[in-house]
Chain A
Amino acid sequence: MEIRRNLRAYPTLLRIGIAEAVAYRAELIVWMLTTTLPLVSMVLWRAVAAEGPIGPERFSAGDFTAYFLLALLVRLLTSSWVLWEMNREIRTGIMSQRLLRPVHPLVAYSAENLAATPLRALLVLPVSLLLLYLYGRSEITKDPLLVGAFVLSLPGAWALTFLSMVLCGCLAFYIESSLGIFHLWYTTYVLCSGYLVPLSLLPGPVRALAEVLPFRYMLDFPVRLLLGLPGLQGSAAHAAVLSHLVVEYAYVAGLLIAVALLWRAGLRRYAAFGA
């Protein structure tokens, strides 16, 4: 009953979300400028690898180019800002208004976030595809199975980004003035998703941590798929793809459950202490 009502509302929510994205396009563009940071990372790491390939995977300057261009693409297609939104709305009490509506706030958030994707894609896809074609063509896989897996991995990457943000956002129910929460999320993301450097370059313990956390599936995994899974060949690569996809969506399911629990507990607290 609840679910069907939410589902029925979803197309309308999406449509309004798109209209809003268009209305706040200036803000969206600034956001997108923020996410073009991989371009600078790219120049930087090209300089680091200028005299020869580095790291355990022998990344060359060309590899770094392709890596960071793909990272930009994946980030723009899967990013979310729900953590900021939640944080603000919980602290200022706007959340109360959201709770009065018959649509679940998290459903509404997801619609708002998803709805910005088309406009963002419209603005960013041509540029990044052109750059990719010009500079990173030779590094990109031609294996149709891997390209297919890439497409499959994207919704999961978005869901993981969104859900992990919501999970952190729920902390705002417990902690007053929680701008620190965003930094907690962002720093972990930057480090453990491969946004800062390819995971293989991280020092041992950090790398071990990054390989356990779900963050790698938000960026590193999709990017690696299109790079043809460096280090793996043929059937070994295909087997790895399958197991990674399973793990990715298992994480999605796990986060979904965690969010449901924490959200409910947080709301109880919100209701008790008010805003």
Chain B
Amino acid sequence: MRRYLRLLRASLRLSLLLAMQYRWDFIGHGLMQLVWTSLGVLPLWIAYQARAAAGLSALGGYSFPQALTVFGFFTLLKALLDGAINPSLTAVVEHIRTGTLDFILLKPADAQFLVSTARQEPWRIIDAATGIGFVVFGMAGHIHQGGAPPGLGALLGAGLLLLCAMLLLYSIWILVICAAFYVVRIDNLSFLFTSLFDFARWPRSVFRGALHVLFTFVVPLVLMTSYPAEALLGLLRPPQLLLAVVWTGLLLCLCRLAWRRSLAAYTSASS
């Protein structure tokens, strides 16, 4: 365990060094990130603005501050996606394409761990902070409008669900990597997932019917952002919490299984 922490530290250090190699990215990203992330709230704002202008009430039962809380969790997870997951994915796909994955498989540490911690983009921490800011802002607005402040149970529930959300994101991404073992030119899969993930910024009540099922179970965006936000707002019921936890566990098992299978296929088939 300590050994893996050390490994993580070594990898973080390298990522920091790498990030500083490309100065423009380091400075530019940091600053631009703030602007882009704030712009991300725009669709939400437009929708609420337009509805208010047309004399319509809250969207699908969510007030604007509540929707903002969901958006905060979205920004937080997006920071994880862009800051740790996508860079590593890109690195692994490159390894598979060029055959240097062999070097990773030869290392005396768990290959999945090495692959998962391959690369980070440290400046994304700004995004994460912005996300937390939105959560706090949304909660403040919620309380201001007469909502109950979160109790200990709500905080714990939200924390647990946030952890689930991160693990869900991680599992999906491992599954994407597994796909990369079979279809090599797959750079755009990450782009596809990033674009899909954009819909997680909306409160779940926006999605109806089949789309709601799709985003709850197949691409569990709803579990990732709406659930933790609802837990914090005191709207989530225990069975839903259980669902999120169970589903996270299932997906984690699935991704570990898929990883093993892909690796076995890789080592028994490729040349």
Using a CB–CB cutoff of 8 Å, the interface residues on chain A facing chain B are 24, 26-27, 30-31, 33-34, 37, 40, 43-45, 47-48, 51-55, 175-180, 183-184, 187, 191, 196-197, 201-203, 206
The residue on B at minimum CB distance from A81 is B188
**Which of A26, A40, A52, A191: most chain B CB closer than 10 A?**
A40
Provide 24 A-B residue pairs closer than 8 Å at the C-beta atoms, listed in order of the A residue: A26-B183, A27-B186, A30-B189, A30-B192, A31-B188, A33-B192, A34-B191, A34-B195, A37-B198, A43-B207, A47-B205, A47-B208, A48-B47, A48-B50, A52-B54, A54-B53, A54-B54, A177-B25, A180-B28, A180-B29, A183-B36, A187-B36, A187-B39, A196-B43
Inside 8 A of B28's CB, which chain A residues have their CB? 180
**B114 part of interface (Cβ distance < 8 Å):** no
CB-CB under 8 A for A180 and B54, given A40-B199, A187-B39: no
A34:B39 contact, CB within 8 angstroms: no
Query: How far, in Å, is B59 (CB) from chain A's closest CB?
Result: 6
Given contacts A47-B60, A54-B51, A187-B36, could you give 10 more A-B pairs where the C-beta distance is less than 8 Å? A47-B206, A48-B51, A52-B56, A54-B53, A54-B56, A175-B24, A176-B25, A201-B46, A201-B50, A203-B45
Query: How far, in Å, is B187 (CB) from chain A's closest CB?
Result: 8
Bound Cα distance A201, B199 (Å): 18
The residue on B at minimum CB distance from A37 is B195
B185:A27 contact, CB within 8 angstroms: yes
Inside 8 A of A52's CB, which chain B residues have their CB? 54-56
**B103 part of interface (Cβ distance < 8 Å):** no
Inside 8 A of A33's CB, which chain B residues have their CB? 192
The one of A31, A43, A51, A191 in contact with B39, judged by C-beta atoms closer than 8 angstroms, is A191
Bound Cα distance A53, B206 (Å): 16
A40:B211 contact, CB within 8 angstroms: yes
A26:B185 contact, CB within 8 angstroms: yes
CB-CB under 8 A for A30 and B54, given A44-B202, A47-B59, A48-B59: no
Inside 8 A of B59's CB, which chain A residues have their CB? 47-48
For chain B residues 203-217, which have a beta carbon within 8 Å of chain A? Answer: 205-208, 211
CB-CB under 8 A for A43 and B208, given A48-B47, A176-B22, A180-B29: yes
Inside 8 A of A55's CB, which chain B residues have their CB? 50, 53-54
**B1 part of interface (Cβ distance < 8 Å):** no
The one of A27, A45, A201 in contact with B188, judged by C-beta atoms closer than 8 angstroms, is A27
For chain B residues 1-41, which have a beta carbon within 8 Å of chain A? Answer: 22, 24-25, 28-29, 32, 36, 39
As a 0/1 sequence over residues 178 to 196 of chain B, the CB contacts with chain A under 8 angstroms (1 = contact) are: 0000010110110110011
CB-CB under 8 A for A34 and B211, given A55-B50, A180-B28: no
The residue on A at minimum CB distance from B29 is A180
Inside 8 A of A53's CB, which chain B residues have their CB? 54
Using a CB–CB cutoff of 8 Å, the interface residues on chain B facing chain A are 22, 24-25, 28-29, 32, 36, 39, 42-43, 45-47, 49-51, 53-56, 59-60, 183, 185-186, 188-189, 191-192, 195-196, 198-199, 202, 205-208, 211
Inside 8 A of B24's CB, which chain A residues have their CB? 175-177
Interface of B is mostly: helix
A34:B46 contact, CB within 8 angstroms: no
Bound Cα distance A203, B47 (Å): 11
Bound Cα distance A187, B25 (Å): 17
Inside 8 A of B56's CB, which chain A residues have their CB? 51-52, 54
B192:A34 contact, CB within 8 angstroms: yes
Inside 8 A of A177's CB, which chain B residues have their CB? 22, 24-25
Query: How far, in Å, is A172 (CB) from chain B's closest CB?
Result: 11
Query: How far, in Å, is A247 (CB) from chain B's closest CB?
Result: 25
Bound Cα distance A42, B28 (Å): 33
The residue on A at minimum CB distance from B60 is A47
Bound Cα distance A180, B36 (Å): 11
The residue on B at minimum CB distance from A35 is B195
Inside 8 A of A27's CB, which chain B residues have their CB? 185-186, 188
Query: How far, in Å, is A68 (CB) from chain B's closest CB?
Result: 13
CB-CB under 8 A for A180 and B208, given A26-B183, A37-B195, A53-B54: no
Bound Cα distance A176, B21 (Å): 10
Bound Cα distance A47, B61 (Å): 12
Query: How far, in Å, is B84 (CB) from chain A's closest CB?
Result: 16
A202:B46 contact, CB within 8 angstroms: yes
9 closest cross-chain pairs (CB), A and B: A54-B50, A177-B22, A54-B54, A34-B192, A48-B47, A47-B206, A55-B50, A30-B188, A27-B185
Bound Cα distance A93, B237 (Å): 56
Inside 8 A of B195's CB, which chain A residues have their CB? 34, 37
B185:A24 contact, CB within 8 angstroms: yes
Query: How far, in Å, is A76 (CB) from chain B's closest CB?
Result: 14
Bound Cα distance A31, B199 (Å): 18
